[in-house]
Structure 1
């Protein structure tokens, strides 16, 4: 199993810089680092995901750079493709492109700010995915009635698609990214996607799962804060609490093994924020114990 790590979601951390967190993750053996994508988030600052990943690319050599996830309809498709291709060149082809349409947690204020009706975000996501690979690769594509060719082209990175219609995953995704899902939910989803993939003549997507985790001795108040944060993404409190990965590394190793048995090939960990570097080390230890 591959192991990824979320960088500080707001891009700023008084304990270390983004570059330091990324280098620490690379040294700890993580396969990838990930950043979220918000234009106008509620209640906290948020740096631009593309610029954060470009900064990480400059100070790392091996670790892959994941959008977790890029809210595609907030951007003009050609500009999104230009950013992705540029980041591929700057990083030596290390991008992992998580894509989403943006849910209620993003609020419609962000969509109003860029002149996109909130209700049209799903349709715009599908339309962008129709042409995105061609634009990134530098092929001539038809966009809004005009031929567009971006240069320099780059290899299209793997596409991971999170929440949203499963038909979108089956049609466009290399990987399914059902954040905060249990092993049972993953198994059921893979079964549904297998049928849909056949309909589209495509391979069954691989699976990447996100986990919010706080290993070791974590105060109850910090656990409650993480639960509250997950409920903002539409989860019930019970589901959010059950999805958290807590306890000793031995228990975390058991959960990772269960996810691997369910068909997950990558876990992206979102550490509790009080001691992110120590949490990263504990998750890496759990993965070694699980031998996945």
Structure 2
């Protein structure tokens, strides 16, 4: 199994952190995509361009890009550019945007929140051709972007049936986050059925997990649980899906997710000692 880790949402240590994660042997770096978040958050494409410039091997994952907020031609141009800058290291996580983030970003770009699912599918229909530099019909006009690039793997975020169907239709991986092992196993089974309907092989599975390894005060864990329940998750599930304890204990949790069908783990540290968390996550991969 591959193991990646999220970048800080903002701050001046992104360069050092990216190099640190690569030096530890982690497979990928991930950054979210929020226009108007609760907390400060840097633009995902620019963060990954920065990380690409200071690393050579580690992959660069969007966790996840909300493509319905963006014009598809500009989206494709940015993805193709990042592929060129990074040497084809992009992992394109895509999501439709959830209720928990509210409608402020959608109002800011004059896109109806209710249309996000339909717009996401429409973008995914044309994105591969646009990225590759092929001629694509867009708004009644044929266009081709240059230079084209290899279309990166598409990972579709979300745990709903709509997300699974979108994954089976367009995705190379399903990318749920903060879900119990049993939900991963059930999703894998459903994904196989849906993939058969579309005549495609079953996509792989990447799972995002919230982690805090080492000696972490109970109050910090309680605060993280509160943050997850504020997003509508039951407290029992929030505590169940947190990965805490030693690297060996984390390795056991990662192995359980692998048995459920996961091919990749994306560790999402929620404590302030992010450099140390990267080291502990890397130690968990060695232990496992």
TM-score range, shorter chain: over 0.9
SS at match of 1:201: coil
Q: Distance in 1 between matches of 2:246 and 2:105?
A: 39
- Find the counterpart in structure 1 of residue 153 from structure 2: 158
Aligned with 1:24 (options 20, 31, 36): 20
The answer as to whether partners of 1:73 and 1:125 remain within 8 angstroms in 2 is: yes
Q: Pairwise mapping of residues 96-245 of structure 1 onto structure 2 (< 5 A)?
A: 96-163=91-158, 164=160, 165=162, 166-245=164-243
Q: Distance in 1 between matches of 2:229 and 2:130?
A: 36
Structure 1 stretches lacking a partner, 5+ long: none
Q: Distance in 2 between matches of 1:54 and 1:61?
A: 12
Q: CA 1:171–1:247 in structure 2 vs 1: closer, same or farther (change >3 Å)?
A: same
Q: How many residues align?
A: 285
Q: Distance in 1 between matches of 2:29 and 2:90?
A: 10
Aligned with 2:55 (options 54, 60, 65): 60
The answer as to whether partners of 1:206 and 1:264 remain within 8 angstroms in 2 is: yes
For each residue in 1:65-119, what CA deviation from the matched residue of structure 2 results, as whole angstroms up to 9, or x when unmatched? 0000001111001111111000000101000000001112322110010010000
Structure 2 stretches lacking a partner, 5+ long: none
Q: Distance in 2 between matches of 1:274 and 1:96?
A: 26
The answer as to whether partners of 2:180 and 2:237 remain within 8 angstroms in 1 is: no
For each residue in 1:183-218, what CA deviation from the matched residue of structure 2 results, as whole angstroms up to 9, or x when unmatched? 211111110010110110111010000111111110
Deviates more, 1:91-100 or 1:252-261: 252-261
Q: CA 1:271–1:199 in structure 2 vs 1: closer, same or farther (change >3 Å)?
A: same
The answer as to whether partners of 2:180 and 2:241 remain within 8 angstroms in 1 is: yes
1:232 Cα deviation (Å)? 4.1
The answer as to whether partners of 1:85 and 1:153 remain within 8 angstroms in 2 is: yes
Q: CA 1:232–1:72 in structure 2 vs 1: closer, same or farther (change >3 Å)?
A: farther
**Once superposed, what is the RMSD of the aligned Cα atoms?**
1.1
Moved over 2 A (4+): 228-234
Q: Distance in 1 between matches of 2:98 and 2:277?
A: 28
For each residue in 1:237-263, what CA deviation from the matched residue of structure 2 results, as whole angstroms up to 9, or x when unmatched? 221111100111221111111111111
Q: Distance in 2 between matches of 1:36 and 1:233?
A: 16
Aligned with 1:91 (options 80, 86, 90): 86
Q: Distance in 1 between matches of 2:232 and 2:15?
A: 31
SS at match of 2:255: helix
Q: Distance in 1 between matches of 2:134 and 2:5?
A: 33
